[in-house]
Amino acid sequence: DYVSYDVLGDVVCGGFAMPIRENKAQEIYIVMSGEMMALYAANNIAKGILKYAHSGGVRLGGLICNERQTDRELDLAEALASRLNSKLIHFVPRDNIVQHAELRKMSVIQYAPDSKQAGEYRALAEKIHANSGQGTIPTPITMEELEDMLLDFGIMKT
């Protein structure tokens, strides 16, 4: 079974931890982007996974980058995945068809099943399924390391 949760990345306890504590989550995939706060949130969620990895067996399945068209976004997503002892599962390109579907209260696959974006979501689902059981124990980084990474990629200026 696959279950999708939308959680605040700055909250790694409470509701987020409940499925992990109750052994209802085996692998977690973090959806993020190349924006600073999304990277911060992804790292925080990795900290939450690490907290329960040894007692409950939960693993980080990987990162999924939902493109926001920031500078060097793909490179940054791959670098963060590597630093977290994980991998980038899929890079979802930005497409305005998402907003068109949302306005009609439909998913992209319902609204435009033959669109390129629908194909991206199908590819993502296949990659998650193929990756099942290959999750890792994450290695979250410090805020200083995250900022250094952003500096290295030219995102933050000195």
Residues 30-69: pLDDT tens digits?
999 999 999 999 999 899 899 889 888 899 999 999 999 9
The pLDDT score that the predictor gives to residue 32 is 94
Kindly list the distances between the CA atom of residue 66 and the CA atoms of 63, 90, 158, in Å, as whole numbers in the listed order: 10, 9, 27
The pLDDT score that the predictor gives to residue 72 is 93
pLDDT of 8 over the 70 cut: no
pLDDT of 12 over the 60 cut: no
C-alpha radius of gyration, the chain, whole number: 16
The pLDDT score that the predictor gives to residue 155 is 74
The pLDDT score that the predictor gives to residue 99 is 97
Nearest to 70 by CA among 40, 46, 39, 101: 39
pLDDT of 128 over the 70 cut: yes
pLDDT of 85 over the 60 cut: yes
pLDDT averaged over the chain? Answer: 90
Kindly list the distances between the CA atom of residue 127 and the CA atoms of 62, 80, 112, 151, 157, in Å, as whole numbers in the listed order: 10, 19, 21, 31, 35
In percent, how much of the chain has pLDDT > 70? 91
pLDDT of 156 over the 80 cut: no
Residue with the larger pLDDT of the pair 96 and 19: 96
